[in-house]
Chain A
Amino acid sequence: MKLDPDSAYVRIANLTKRFGDFVAVDDVSLDIRRGEIFCLLGGSGSGKTTLLRMLAGFESPSAGTIRIDGADMSAIPPYERPVNMMFQSYALFPHMSVERNVAFGLEQEGVGREQIRRQVGEILDIVKMGGFGARKPHQLSGGQRQRVALARALVKRPKLLLLDEPLAALDKKLREHTQFELINIQQRLGVTFIVVTHDQEEAMTLGTRLGVMNHGKIAQIGTPSDIYESPATRFVADFIGSVNMFEGRVSDDGADYLRIQCGELGCTVRAERTVSCTRGATVWTAIRPEKINISRQPFGAGAPQAGSAENLVRGTVREIAYMGDMSIYLVQIDSGRMMRVTLPNIMRGAERPIAREESVWLSWHGSSPVILTE
């Protein structure tokens, strides 16, 4: 079978890695497209770093194959792979200057002295470290080291760059700034990025596509909005962002809607039909906090049709956290469960803001709940 080169630049098939009895990566199959930023997102021990290390060649798979640009990587040692990696610790050589660090990869290829000097200069300019060539790594700040590590990984112009938690060691302000710079450089050089991160915000801003990993398996692959708006499993819904989740039973399945009896919620949920499930099946209803309407009167804006107790619950505000751009309300609904609702603070000094211990109604649109079967 001839592969379309643009459909899968990196093709990972049935990849498994065992360390003794522990299965770090469990039968993962994954295609990564040319020129994209693919983020592997997962908690610690989810197998994301092991997967990255297998791509770089530092770990050999227990089973399965990795193909890069059509070539099988099984027998290729790390020093012959068309891949470079930016390490989480940056792994800069402490006894070499910035210039020597960056030149290291080119020297291994036997590139001429003059060309090395030119290419090192170019890449240091790209990462805005032009004047720092003579410094040693310990004379640099964390952010500068990160740039040098990036320059060193990019100087050989790899087709594929692996980044292990590239921003984890930076403080928040610098991280945000660097995120956009990374995307900028990636687009300028046309490199395919595979980024490993545990930070969902980082994954969402960086990634053109995300792969959420859990217990060595890929839980879901999709664009950031796919993953956020249409999580495939309870794990994904819970891992990305915050969510209100209630167990229920399908009581009515129409052609384009589902009705779910939710004991924990104390009302019927009517949701757009996005999954196939039969009447009587146990499902979970996931509603994002920002997709819930909070009001003093029932049937406010976006409320369901009058007369039914669908997608509407009553509760009492127990806690309000003012975050500046938005406020988080923790509402105890009549069934006793807590629900998390966020509202953007659009107006300065709203006339009569909802206060603690006030009785409120929560409602949501039929398109808001995500119905999950696993």
Chain B
Amino acid sequence: MVAGIPTLWLLVLFLIPFIIVFRISFSEVRLAIPPYTPLLSWRHGAPVLQLHWSAYRFLFTDTLYVSSYLYSLKVAAVSTLCCLLIGYPMAYAIARSDAASRPVLLMLIVLPFWTSFLLRVYAWIGLLKNNGVINNVLMYLGIVHHPLALLQTDFAVYIGIVYSYLPFMILPLYANLEKHDGTLLEAAADLGARPLRAFLRVTLPQSFAGIVAGSLLVFIPAVGEYVIPTLLGRTDQIMIGRVLSDEFFENRDWPVASAVAIVILLLLVVPIMLFQRLERRQLEAAK
């Protein structure tokens, strides 16, 4: 019975919506309510299944879609790498700090979640815009004479994503690093390994599972990120989440929007499966 509740949850809130979207992606757009053609129609008293591939075909004819997919993957990959480079030292430092201060440090990591996500992204606009805090300070100090174009750049998107998703990198890494046995590093030092080598040979390989978990937790949502690139990002190159929303709400082309969503899902299936396999392996190792 207990196992049935998550299954029911997934069925109602994931599988059924997925089937609806999947089904719409094989329709054609029309001016009606609903704004897409039905898959099944009755002709001569018999049901006829009409699958339209036009939405998918359209994705590969207009370069907008392909370039948006590639751009999204690139932004997500670079952001994930930045999160890892910033998050790993932070997670390491928290895991190595004394036990009394760890809860406080973890609290500081989670604390930004207590304010609205949207508000935090808006705050970055105030910091990055032409007469924003950063430009004003730089000009006041005489470092620059004209305001730097920070907003509506890739840089702003990276900052927004890294800032928002960093905790998702830090927490699994911390959970991993915190369990490490300090004696192993002593053993490495005792056998002649300098601190950096001991880290590379002992700590890093053992934290691999944490790195993968944190990276996927950042990468997967970052690919479909909508709010951050819309508020902070370029206008000439949009991410796929924005494309999806524009198709739905601006163009009212539900089949193409659904096809966009299905292709995102296909792109993310590989990392998601990787993530699940890793989790299963860890569960087995824990036994």
Contacts and interface: CB of A to CB of B under 8 A. Distances in A.
Contacts of B186: 56, 58, 78, 85, 87, 91
A78 B189 contact: yes
A79 B202 CA distance: 15
A94 B206 contact: yes
B183 A105 contact: no
A336 interface: no
A93 interface: yes
A109 B184 CA distance: 18
Given A91-B181, A91-B183, A104 B189 contact: no
Interface in B197-227: 197-198, 201-202, 205-206
B45 interface: no
Nearest to B185: A91
Interface string A39-79: 00000000000000000111000000000000000000111
A83 to B, nearest CB: 8
Given A79-B192, A105-B192, A91 B187 contact: yes
Interface in B165-191: 181, 183-184, 186-191
Contact of B183 (A77, A89, A104, A153): A89
Contacts of A84: 190-191
Interface residues of A, number: 24
Nearest to B188: A104
Interface string B117-145: 00000000000000000000000000000
A108 interface: yes
Interface string B243-262: 00000000000000000000
Interface string A100-132: 000011001100000000000000000000000
A145 interface: no
A153 B186 CA distance: 12
A156 interface: yes
A108 B190 CA distance: 11
Nearest to A149: B187
Contacts of A92: 187
B193 interface: yes
Contacts of B188: 93, 104
Contacts of B191: 79, 84, 104-105, 108, 152, 156
A85 B190 contact: yes
A153 B198 CA distance: 16
Contact of B205 (A78, A91, A95): A95
A359 to B, nearest CB: 57
A115 to B, nearest CB: 15
Nearest to B198: A79
B281 interface: no
B194 interface: yes
A94 to B, nearest CB: 7
Interface in A131-161: 152-153, 156
**Residue of A57, A58, A80, A91 ringed by the most chain B CB atoms within 10 A:** A91
Q: Chain B: interface secondary structure?
A: helix
B181 to A, nearest CB: 7
Given A94-B206, A95-B205, A95-B206, A104 B193 contact: yes
Given A91-B181, A94-B206, A104 B190 contact: no
Nearest to A78: B189
B202 A93 contact: yes
A92 B187 CA distance: 8
**Residue of B189, B192, B194, B202 ringed by the most chain A CB atoms within 10 A:** B192
Contacts of B181: 89, 91
Contacts of B202: 93
Contact of B189 (A77, A152, A156): A77
Contact of B192 (A58, A89, A94, A156): A156
B183 to A, nearest CB: 4
A369 B193 CA distance: 53
A247 to B, nearest CB: 45
Interface string A199-242: 00000000000000000000000000000000000000000000
B179 to A, nearest CB: 11
Contacts of B194: 79
Contacts of B189: 57-58, 77-79
Given A79-B190, A95-B206, A108 B197 contact: yes
**Residue of B187, B189, B197, B202 ringed by the most chain A CB atoms within 10 A:** B187
B197 A91 contact: no
Nearest to B183: A91
Nearest to A109: B192
A83 B205 CA distance: 26
A58 B189 CA distance: 9
13 contacts: A57-B190, A58-B189, A78-B189, A79-B189, A85-B190, A91-B187, A93-B184, A93-B187, A94-B206, A104-B191, A108-B192, A152-B191, A156-B192
Interface of A: 56-58, 77-80, 83-85, 87, 89, 91-95, 104-105, 108-109, 152-153, 156
Closest 4 pairs between A and B when the two form their complex, measured CB to CB: A105-B191, A108-B192, A91-B187, A91-B183
Given A78-B190, A79-B198, A80-B192, 13 more contacts: A79-B191, A79-B194, A84-B190, A84-B191, A91-B181, A91-B183, A91-B187, A93-B184, A93-B188, A105-B191, A108-B191, A108-B197, A156-B192
